[in-house]
Amino acid sequence: MSDLSRRHLLAGSAMAAVAATLPKAAHAAAPQSGQQGPGFYRFKIGNYEVTAINDGTWYRKLDASFVRNAALPDVQKALADAFLPTDVVPIPFTTLVVNTGSKLIALDTGTGAALGAMMPQAGTFATNLAAAGIDPKSVDAIYISHFHPDHINGIKSKDGSLFFPNASINVPEAEWAFWMDDGNMTRAPEAAQFAFKNSRRIFGDVAGKVQRFVPGKEVEPGITSIAAPGHTPGHTAYSIANGNKSLLYVADATNNPWLFVRNPEWQAVFDADPNKATETRKMLLDRAAADKMLAHGYHWPFPASGYITKTAKGYELVPAMWSPNL
């Protein structure tokens, strides 16, 4: 019997007098919100203002295929050690928007809410960008780490228009060469077809607008591209440096940190060239650890920035402390 029908019964019975003395509120004056707070977080790198924008989380079913070279019970133990569920792997998405004072630059763009059926708790980038007070029209440049759909789909709105209409679109040359090559698409296994087709959907009709670059140089003042192949052929990391501060955006050099930062030899199903990806992962994490440099992982827990220390068997991510002030 529901509370309501029980109360109706009471009111209509000899119990009415008793009912009148029961506590009056069946619900708090303030109803439960049911909503998380805005998913953005700001910090400074020198004079640059960086905003981390969350695009939600993909709770991917955990099966034996997820880590190619580790036994499922070991993977489950690693998740349990981090107090995470062992049936799904939480894979958050967090991009960076850098306001240099003279330019607004987005590093990756999120899922574009285009993968909703596969990941219903992702696709919040546009909402969180708006909550952060950033108008997509004022973004001057987009830099892409690689062509997986959760990084490039935010370039377009669902209607196919450019979500950042005034932004230059900058992509790694090797990434373009790989994904836009029809021969590669033909030779790719069925499971990879989606990413090839998706790259065409995003870039096909705006190809003339896309600027390709070879990583290894400064692409904007203080922002340097770093070749980081393995996850995909042209996967690219970025460093942001201003004043005496810097940040290393490792993009997808690691997925979930409790699996792949702690166990850098573990290889995720998403890595195209697992051995090269491992080599790149260690190279970037070594650099962050040696330089005590703030690092940001696209799939690390929001706000997704932290420091890296070396351990006996790998690395540890020390999340940057949340600060109420910039």
- The contact set with its own copies (CB under 8 A) reads 23, 25-42, 49, 51, 54, 56-57, 81-84, 90, 92, 99-104, 121, 124, 131-135, 137-138, 140, 292, 301-303, 307, 309, 318-326
Rounded CA-CA distance 235/144 in Å is 9
The residue (of 20 and 318) whose beta carbon lies closer to its own copies is 318
Q: How far is the CB of 72 from its own copies (least distance, A)?
A: 21
**The one-letter amino acid at 85:** P
Q: How far is the CB of 208 from its own copies (least distance, A)?
A: 21
* Strand runs labelled E in the chain: 40-45, 48-61, 88-99, 104-107, 141-143, 168-172, 210-213, 218-220, 223-227, 236-242, 245-251, 294-297, 305-310, 315-319
The residue (of 183 and 324) whose beta carbon lies closer to its own copies is 324
Q: How far is the CB of 33 from its own copies (least distance, A)?
A: 6
Estimate to the nearest angstrom the gap between the alpha carbon of 97 and the chain centroid. Answer: 12
Cα angle, residue 225 at apex, residues 136 and 48 outer, rounded to 5°: 55
The residue (of 33 and 161) whose beta carbon lies closer to its own copies is 33
Rounded CA-CA distance 68/274 in Å is 9
3-state secondary structure of 322: coil
The residue (of 81 and 218) whose beta carbon lies closer to its own copies is 81
The residue (of 44 and 197) whose beta carbon lies closer to its own copies is 44
Q: How far is the CB of 286 from its own copies (least distance, A)?
A: 17
Q: How far is the CB of 116 from its own copies (least distance, A)?
A: 13
